[in-house]
A = this chain, B = another copy of it.
Amino acid sequence: MTTVPNIEDFVDSTNPFVRRFSDYLDEHGMRKTTERYAILQHILNINGLFTIEGLQQLVDSDGFRVSRSTVYNTVELLMDAQILRRHVFEGMQAQYERITLPHTHLICTSCGRVKETRDPNFAAFMNARRYNAFNADHYSLYVYGTCSTCARKLKRAKQSTTKKNKRDKQL
């Protein structure tokens, strides 16, 4: 027989995020289902960004079985509970991450990989910044460019093109 993991073995009820979610569910008169805690607990094991699909696979791979709709549903609740944030980068599916210290996202337009980097100076700047007739809640800084790996690849490709052109001219 297949052993379905016991949620008790997974959830760390002393974890502040688990607490926050629990409180959130209480406040909104919502039910505490195994699926919701299983999803949250797996999110807590992720560092950085993840997609809905990746999250579902992670949960499934631990012997739980959650439907796509439940993942979407729970992630929505976690955003409302200020535990998660969604990012929509150029030409990729939505990615999520736990709300932590503010940081910048460096997005490589060549390979699509996203690097996160802390920037205390920028955070301080934004902290002090106020806008007219607009009450800021949070912000996202996306920097688009080329990562070092892709920069190297592009350089190499360019060099071989140049060589090829020289060869063509010689013929």
Contacts and interface: CB of A to CB of B under 8 A. Distances in A.
A109 B137 contact: yes
Interface in A116-158: 117, 119, 121-122, 125, 129, 131-148, 151
Given A122-B125, A125-B125, A137 B141 contact: no
Query: Interface residues of A: mostly helix, strand, loop or mixed?
Result: strand
Chain copies in complex = 2
A131 B144 contact: no
Given A141-B141, A143-B136, A88 B86 contact: no
Nearest to A89: B88
Interface in A80-106: 86, 88-90, 106
Given A86-B90, A89-B88, A145 B136 contact: yes
A86 B89 CA distance: 10
A87 to B, nearest CB: 9
A124 to B, nearest CB: 10
Interface of A: 86, 88-90, 106, 108-109, 115, 117, 119, 121-122, 125, 129, 131-148, 151
